[in-house]
Structure 1
Amino acid sequence: MSDGGLRAVFLENRPMLLRLLAARLGNRDDAEDALQDMWLRVEQLANRPIDQPAAFLYRVAANLATDRRIAGQRGVARDTAWVDVQPLAEELPDAERTLIARDRLAAVESAMAAMPDRMRTALHMFRVEERPQREIAETIGISLSGVEKLLQRAYRHIIEASEDFDAGMAKRHRLGSGKGA
């Protein structure tokens, strides 16, 4: 094959390669893009000896079409998976719900700050550090049942603070809507 042999075979077979790619890819624009990629490969391989250049080019075209189809399918699958895990508009918190959640968190943090030290420490070790109750008992120097009682009282404090918060919110809502207290 001469120096421009593979390029010449490509240019001679370009219309047929374009039709092959269009048939495999489903549209002419994608086929033109694939053909451009083929030309870049031909440029890289132009100086290498190839026994059957036309067959080689058709194989390259078929492989490019397959690669592009697979990449397209993966892209669609990825995009579909992404859309499927996105929350719906009604699932997103609005500004009011976000502010209420922040206020509720502040009420819980305030309740935790008001707890006796050992109770707060036991709750933190159990819930935040995820340490077993037996280890908490050894660290604090109390029995396992003592840890259980501390945690129960801590939960009650948090529940009471949450209930007080909810009652305050309900009262504000009634006052804000003009119904009175």
Structure 2
Amino acid sequence: MSDGGLKAVFLAQRPMLLRLLVARLGNRDDAEDALQDMWLRIDQLAEQPIAQPAAFLYRVAANLATDRRIAAGRRGARDAGWVEVQPRAEDVPDAERTLVARSEWQAVEDAIGEMPERMATALRMFRIEERPQRAIAEHLGISVSGVEKLLQRAYRKIQERLESVGGDSADAHRLDSERGSDRAG
């Protein structure tokens, strides 16, 4: 059967092919898209003889429906995987929190910049480098008690700076509670 003959059989069988595809795919829009794909495939067939054109068209329709269901499943799994790795809305800071955090960070940087060198060094070594107070004392040539006092004064200066820029009282409370835990180390 020629290409033109296959198209004629397709046009004659189109309502039944559409019903088959709707049943397999679950909705009319996807079935119409599959029929369009079938028409394009038929267009690509070059003068190949087909003994049973109606059976051939139903097999093509069934295969297209299967391919589309598999692709939809993969697409759904991929999209679900993408959604799972995206941050939740509450995990992303809003503009106001970002501005407040920048302002507070600048206040902390300014406070550290105004500290005496030994105080700033002790604070950086303890908070950033996470060195124990004993190692800081050895490095600065002072006692552990002296390191504790430097850290207390550094925290106080940071707290005062945060309060002066309208910092959150929760930050001040956190600094107070950290001051108490600084003695261990």
TM range (shorter): 0.5 to 0.7
- The alignment partner of 1:4 has SS state of helix
5+ long unaligned stretches in structure 2: 130-134, 141-146, 170-185
Kept after mapping to 2: 8 A contact 1:17/1:58 = yes
Q: What is the CA-CA distance between 1:34 and the residue it aligns to?
A: 0.8
Q: Write the distance in 1 (CA, Å) between the matches of 2:49 and 2:156.
A: 83
Task: State the Cα deviation string for residues 35-60 of structure 1 (Å, max 9, x = none).
Answer: 01110111111433334433332222
TM-score normalised by the chain length of structure 2? 0.57
Root mean square deviation of aligned Cα: 4.1
How many residue pairs align between the two structures? Answer: 148
Does 2:84 correspond to 1:75? no
- In 1, Cα distance between the equivalents of 2:14 and 2:159? 76
Residue of structure 2 equivalent to 1:64: 64
Compute the TM-score of the two structures, normalised by the length of structure 1.
0.58
Contact 1:35 1:61 in 2 (8 A): yes
Structure 1 14/108 Cα, relative in aligned 2: closer, same or farther at 3 Å?
same
Superposition pairs of residues 33-112 of structure 1, within 5 angstroms = 33-84=33-84, 85-88=86-89, 90-110=90-110
Give percent identity, aligned residues only: 59
Distance in 1, Cα, partners of 2:168 & 2:31: 67
* 5+ residue gaps, structure 1: 128-144, 173-181
Alpha-carbon shift at residue 9 of structure 1 (Å): 2.3
Aligned equivalents of 2:82, 2:43: Cα separation in 1: 38
Whole-angstrom distance in 1 between the partners of 2:19 and 2:104: 65
**How far apart are 1:81 and its partner, in Å?**
3.7
Partner residue of 1:132?
Answer: none
